[in-house]
Structures are given as C-alpha cells and as structure tokens.
Structure 1
Amino acid sequence: MEHRQLGASGLKLPVLGLGTGTFGGSGPLFGAWGNTDVAEARRLIDICLEAGVTLFDSADVYSDGASEQVLGQAIRGRRDRVILSTKMGLPMGPGANDAGVGRDRLIRGVDAALRRLGTDRIDILQLHAHDAATPVDEVVATLDDLIRAGKLRHAGVSNYPGWALMKALAAADRTGRSRFVAHQVYYSLIGRDYEWELMKLGQDQKVGALVWSPLGWGRLTGRIGRNRPIPAGSRLHDTAAFAPPVDEALLYRVTDVLDEIAAETGRTVPQIAINWLLGRPTVTSVIIGARNEAQLRDNLGATGWQLTQDQIARLDAASVRDAPYPHFPYRRQEAFARLDPPAV
C-alpha cells in the first residue's frame, strides 16, 4: 500500500482509509448507511490491515458516538498498528455549548472521544464544519494546547470554506500555534468543486486532502447509469436530502465513460473512480466506505495499478464543469490561464 505525507506534517498515511460511518449505525442517516457491529468491524479492520490500510476515520456525530465506540472496541489490543482520525463540531446535544468548536466544547469533546475510542490520543482531529461564532484565535489555541497535552497528534478541518481555512492558518502562524495539516473534503468525478479554490489553497499551504464520498454518495458504484435508474434498495432513496447535488446529464456522461473504461480494463466502476482521485493533486488519502466484506475488498482493488493518460483525459472531459465566479470566465482565457495555472 502506497503511503503519502500528510500536508506539512511528518505523518505518513496510506492512500486509502476506511470510513466508519456504518459502525453502530442508527438514525435516519447513519442507519441507512449500515449497522456494523463490533464483530463485523473487527473483520473489516482485519482485512484492511492485511492490505496495508491503517487509517480509520470516524466522528462523534456518527450514530451519536456509537461509531467511535465500535471502532474503539474493534481495535482493542492493536492501537499502535492503526491511525485514528475523528471529527467534531456538529451538534451533539440540545445545549448551547453542545455544538461548535469553542474551547469548552473542544476539551469536553476530545475527552469524550478518547473514552469512546478507548485510547489516550487521537492521531488526527478534524473540525467537522466551520464555526463562524467562535474566534479563530480561541480555536487554534485550544487545539495547540490539546496537542501539547498529548491528546492530539495533528489537527485538521472538514468542509471548510477557503477563506476560513486560510484565516485559521494565518492565526496559527501569527501566534506560533500548530497549523492545520489536513482538510477532509467532498471530491469525486461528479463533484469537482474542490478543485476551484481549495485544491490551490492546499497546494500552496501544504494542507493534505482526505477525500470523503469518493463515489459521489453511492452514485458511482456501477449500479446507476444512463439506462440503470437508482435500484430499489439503494440508500439514496433514504438519504437523498443529505447527498451532494449532481446534475443528471453530468452523472450519465461520467457513468458512460466509467462503463467504457471498466470494459477496457476489467476493473470495476468504483475502482476506476477511486483510482482517478488518487492521481489528483493534494490528495493524501481517499476514505472508502463498506457495509460488508465484498464492498471493502472491491474498493481495496483501486490501488496497485494506474489509468492510462487517455483514460484520465476521457474522465476529465466527461466530468468537467464551468467554475463559478471569480474563477469563471477567466480560466477559459489563455491570458488568465498563464496567471493562474491549474494545480499539478
């Protein structure tokens, strides 16, 4: 399994990680994803470790903490073999301080996550969403204190707007605090918005991308295509309100090309979609999900081979969209392209 350095940190991550949103699944969203128990989770982790996948990603909000609990029990006795990533900041209760990333919330949240995970440290803590109400200096100071206390190894963010991430990085530099080294982002062949600004920021500031939902919320599994509507048992029926939007014409352009390349290579559609992501700038690791062993083994097959340049070009062409202002219309003009070349 290939490993890549995470941003400006010294931490090396496998190019694939396992998301644990299915662990202990309950509620309208996570229950639809799956309800993996401890025994099943232990088996999935066994398969990952055999393949060299050591990164496991969770969040306190996943099934109200049950995901972290199941993950913690499943890695018991082998903590030093794994890299634990989790997220916090979304609401965990009705109280005024049960959401966001203020100092009290972060300190209480980290201690609670450590208890659920059954460990003394979190390798990567990511702020799950931007909290506009909390001063950025308070956030970076609190995270730096938690790192100095040994409870965290590294800090990152998830789903942040570019201006907020840059403001936090500047605050850390100004005060001599630890910088964010990771940004967990939505990125897929049918959702390339990350490229418009956040990719450039990550490249310039050495913030590595951890990609969530690489299969476009289950749309790039190979079961959906131009003449293949959403299957009756698809989780999309239950979770459509949470799913990133996608234009139907774009979806079918991409699935047409994925089907063609699958026929050419003998690879599955998910393997091709994930492999394309692994070739993109700033991507450190792609977080895959699996409700069962078969799905996991298929996703693990996305590594160890490469798409041809022709296949990449076809996928690029099928999935490209015009960027919003101020990126469009300037990127279409050669003169502006010389000033703002694409990330490589």
Structure 2
Amino acid sequence: MASNQIFDIVPLTSSEISFLQNLAPAVNEVGVEVTSTMYQYMFQTYPEVRSYFNMTNQHTGRQPKVLAFSLYQYILHLNDLTPISRFVKQIVIKHCGLGIAPEQYPVVGACLVHAFQEVLGPETADEHFINVLTKAYGNLAQTLIDAEESVYQDLQWRGFKDFKVVSLEKEAEDVTSVYLTPVDNTKLLPIVPGQYISLRWDVQDDTVHPREYSISHDLINNEYRISVRKLVNGKVSTFVNTKLQVGNTVPVHAPVGNMTYDATSGKPKVAVFAGGIGITPMITIMQAALKNGQSVELYYSNRTVDSEPFKKTFEDWASEYPDSFKLKNYVSSEGGKLTVSELMHIEPAEYDVYLLGPVGYMHEFKTYLTSKGVSDLKMEFFGPTDPDV
C-alpha cells in the first residue's frame, strides 16, 4: 500500500448515488450549518489543526460557506467530477499551499459525520446515511490526496521552511513589501509567474496565523518578495506593516498557484484586470509577458492615488516598453470606475486575460468576459476558493 493511501476508493452503487443525490436539496439547505458545526467541533476536539486555517474566514463565515458549496457540488456530480474539475484543482492547489497532509483527512471526515448527525438528527442521519456518506467522503478524500501528492512531488521542499526578513520597502501609504530569504541558504528555484507562498505568522499573541501572499517580483538575490496591504482590523497585515522587523523569521511553504503565466498560448496580447492589492501576482505575470514579446494592457482600480502601489515599476515599464505596455488607472475616490464597456474590444483569440480583485469586482467582470467567449479566464483566490466567483 502506498504511503499516502489512507482510504480505499470503492465506487458507489447506483442506488447509493441516487440516495445521496435525492438528499442534495436538504444538504444544500443546511450545508452552512453543518460545516459551521463541523469546524467548531474540529477546533475544539483537534486544536492542532487550527494552524492550517485563517480564523478570519471562520469568523466571517466564508470558510464554512465554501465547504458547504463544495460538498453540495460533489454530491451533484458523484457520477462524473469533470464539470467541477477546475474547482477541484483550485482546492488541490490551496491544500498544497497550506501543507495539508493525508493523515488530516480522516479527522475532517470524522468531524463531518459528527456535524451531520448533530444537525440532521438520527432519523435522517441514520446508519445507512452515515455509511454512504463515509464511503463517498473516502473516495473524494483519496482522490484529493493523490492529486495533492503529484503536486507535492514537484515542489522544491515539503512543509514549512524558516525564512528571514532581509528588507522592508514601503510601496504605498498602506502597502509594505517584504523581502525573504531561506535561513539555511537554500538556492531558490525560479518561480512560475503568478505563484504565491503560504506563511505562518507569529504576531505575538500565542497563535499561529496562516496567510497566503503572492510573490510580487521575480527572484532577487535569492529572495522572495511579498507585498502586504494593511487592512482594517487585519491582525497579520497590521503586524507586517507596523511591527515586522528585518531579521525576523517566518515559516514559508514552497510556491504554488492556480493563476500562472501561460507562455505557450501563442496569443499576442495580455489583458490584466486588477483591483487594489490584487495587483501583486500580476506583477510577475506582466514582467514575463513583456519579456516574451506580448503587449500588455493593465486596467488597475484603486481607492485613492496614495493607495496605489508599484508606481515606479509601471513608470519603468512604460519607458522600457513604450509600444507594449499600456496602463489605465481608475481611482474610485475621484469618480473613476472600470465598466464593461471598456472590455468590449477583448477578443478571446487575441488575448490572454487575467483577473483578480475583490469578490464583487471579479464576479462582475468574469460574468461579462465569459459571455464574450473568454473560456480560459485566469483567476486566483486568497483564502478559500470562493463559490460566488
């Protein structure tokens, strides 16, 4: 048996599939209650797993909502996961970035069963229901474990490696760039443009806080650069912008990413739509595209002029690539707003399209671009993969 074989994959019978799918509406109705109950029980019973979760996403309800959506979609597609393969891939990459291990899946499974029993009660969550649910969960869990193992095998290291803060640089009034290098002097491999790293922050409150930040520049002197915006009530982002010091160490996971630069598309143009700090992964993507001879159009939305980071970078690109790099800024405090009318020229055959920003921003422009026939729209999600986008 392979070392990462935790569950035996046993295909569900047609009657078992029908049984679960007949319950799908009920599962959808109580899904968030089930997953919220599951997380509460899991954190109380297995407190060691808390270090894998951004507790802000628990408090806002975002994480339970995403898991409920995932369970519902899995039940709907028990016969064939192909229609949700992109969503599944996003989950796999997210798990790998966090360093999720195979042995953690049985913990989640046990807590999920407990939550269904508590929310649905013994009449609905009877022995047959639990047996079929456990079987279906085991199949999904092992599928994810196998997919994650294939990703882990391509990473430079597994788990978290200590990095040292080499320097700090102010990019805007509320954005700080952090340059990090391995404490053990490991020679870092080149990144794939668009990748991010997961970090486990100690903000001096006796709690580990996992966060994901895009690498916002190509490797420099064997250093990763991340750029962090200070958020209102943001515990980690406030710490990074006000208290982090050169010489501090932080555990870092090897880079992963869903939204990475496609150097083989053959399309002559790249359109980038970024809102706020969503610009960070776009920096390396645009760097690569310009070096690859593609023309780049950046549509960049910010709240204020002073909150716009990387102004010097954009000025340098405009000078170096005067015919290839075009920037259009939208500043909401001055009445500027990107509208779909400015996207009408985007032709799927000519453009690679990248999109990242607040959820509402992404939903609006994804809807329009998809209607235009942009089938391979490239997006990234920080925190749980969002079902609303």
TM-score of the superposed pair, with normalisation by structure 1:
0.28
Q: Which has the larger radius of gyration?
A: 2
TM-score of the superposed pair, with normalisation by structure 2:
0.25
